[in-house]
A and B are shown apart, each in its own frame.
Chain A
Amino acid sequence: MEGRDRPTDSTRAKASLRSSFSSDPEMRELVDFFIDDLARRVAAISSALDALDRRRLRVLAHQLYGSAEGYGFRPIGEAARILEEEICANQLDDGLAEEVALSVLREKTEDLLTVCRRAIPTPDELP
């Protein structure tokens, strides 16, 4: 673990996470779609982790990294980026012991799942 990214306090926080576009009425439908889709993605990421399906996990993380910020959820994109990089690094790092690699993979995946679960829809009453 030494020298590797540690989960930050912010990704551990329990506070809910709103889209940075939540005050934009034109983005409401899009943000709500993202939140709906996120529930399915969280389930898919959990399944991929349980199955230790790195390839699937990487695809799911990659898709979130590319799109989450576009929906106003930068922290999710950032956590997905860290997970994707971790998976790629593990593939290349032959010297890393398997159990350590797995532990880091689980940790980064949990970080992503935690931040995903914090995401909430746009409030009904816009300011």
Chain B
Amino acid sequence: MNVGALGSSFGIDPSPRAPRVLSIDDSELMHRLLRARLQLEQVEIHCASGGEEGLKMAGEMQPDVILLDIELDGMDGFEVLQRLKENPRTHDIAVIFISATNDTMDRVRCLDLGAVDFVHKPFEIAELKARVRSAIRIQQLLRMLSQRAQLDGLTALWNRAYFDQRLMAEFGEARRHTRRMSLVLCDIDHFKTVNDRYGHPFGDEVLAHFSSILMGGRVSDIPCRYGGEEFGVILPNTSIAEATEVAERFRAAFEEHRWRRHPDLVLTASFGVADIGMLNINGKSADLVAHADGALYNAKRAGRNRVSSIATPMAA
């Protein structure tokens, strides 16, 4: 499954990696201690010595767990937690407070603000390790559930909800960093006839095979099932010329496939390509979809089994 560069911000691991733990504490003594004592837990330990630095690192490195001290110079731990929860890139990270406070109301406040646990300083290292392990386990389960809720059951591609969310995020990133970005919308030609003539189980096989072709594309691309026999592929950092080449490879691979149960059958698909450069400065991600949909319509109207990057006037 391709998940692309922003995968982790949607709670999806781009690749298996050691769990990451970020310690936000103004004491170097605590950082040293945690690094030494957690090194056998097969986790990556990162340390920040203040709230601002911790927030920045959390956004960049997407830790699984943050160990947060309440008493920090400047911004205190409560404020750090609030800001972590306000930021979509960090609000799902499990936060464990580590503090010397004996005030019950402080501990209640930590949990009410969204911390998953509280460890009292000075701590027994075995207890801290167990709590970190527990938080990582729960994080991984939540991530798996979230991932499953965003997958299409038949094709194992990302579903429409994920497509909408991810397109908006990638579009925003491309705008912010003045990067290229393209979108391919595609549709299996005469799919209703395939279902009617060969039955729905074969129709499902066609959808699954088409999906496997899209999944076999570039690692950075994000293929999704848009609905029915329509699919969308988000291509970050990609010009329209490159996206057209990618779409052409998909088209050719699908047309060339021979179906075991129907060896004479040739199935095709049509593709519409659009890129962010087609839009004016106020253009939105929905406008990119409209352009790609217009180009797909154009490909259909021109005879199907082709890639078009020219949107029809109506859609543009």
Which residues of A approach B to under 8 Å, CB–CB?
A: 27, 29-30, 33-34, 37, 59, 62-71, 74, 77, 81, 84
Interchain CB contact under 8 A, A59 and B122: no
Q: With A30-B32, A71-B29 in contact, do A66 and B37 touch (Cβ < 8 Å)?
A: no
Interchain CB contact under 8 A, A66 and B100: yes
Q: Which residues of A contact B37 (CB under 8 A)?
A: 70
Interchain CB contact under 8 A, B33 and A59: no
Q: Which residues of B contact A65 (CB under 8 A)?
A: 100, 121-122
Partner of A77, one of B30, B69, B71, B122: B122
Residue B73 at the A interface, CB < 8 A?
A: yes
Residue B26 at the A interface, CB < 8 A?
A: yes
Q: Which of B96-128 contact A (CB under 8 A)?
A: 98, 100, 121-123, 125
Q: With A30-B36, A70-B123 in contact, do A62 and B100 touch (Cβ < 8 Å)?
A: yes
Q: Which residues of A contact B29 (CB under 8 A)?
A: 34, 37, 63-64, 66-68, 71
Interchain CB contact under 8 A, A67 and B125: no
Q: Which residues of A contact B32 (CB under 8 A)?
A: 30, 33-34
Count contacts between A and B, CB distance < 8 Å. Answer: 52
Interchain CB contact under 8 A, B28 and A37: yes
Interchain CB contact under 8 A, A70 and B33: yes
CB-CB nearest in chain A for B128: A70
Can you identify 11 A-B contacts, CB atoms within 8 angstroms?
A: A29-B36, A30-B33, A30-B36, A33-B32, A62-B71, A64-B29, A65-B122, A66-B27, A67-B27, A71-B29, A71-B33
Interchain CB contact under 8 A, A69 and B100: no
CB-CB nearest in chain A for B72: A59
CA distance A83 to B123 in the complex (A): 19
Q: Which residues of A contact B73 (CB under 8 A)?
A: 59
A-B pairs, 9 with minimum CB distance: A69-B122, A66-B121, A67-B29, A63-B27, A70-B33, A30-B36, A67-B30, A66-B100, A77-B122
CA distance A67 to B26 in the complex (A): 12
Question: What 1/0 flags go to B19-42 for Cβ under 8 Å of A?
Answer: 000000011111011001100000
Q: Which residues of B contact A70 (CB under 8 A)?
A: 30, 33, 37, 122-123, 125
B173 to chain A, nearest CB (A): 39
A31 to chain B, nearest CB (A): 10
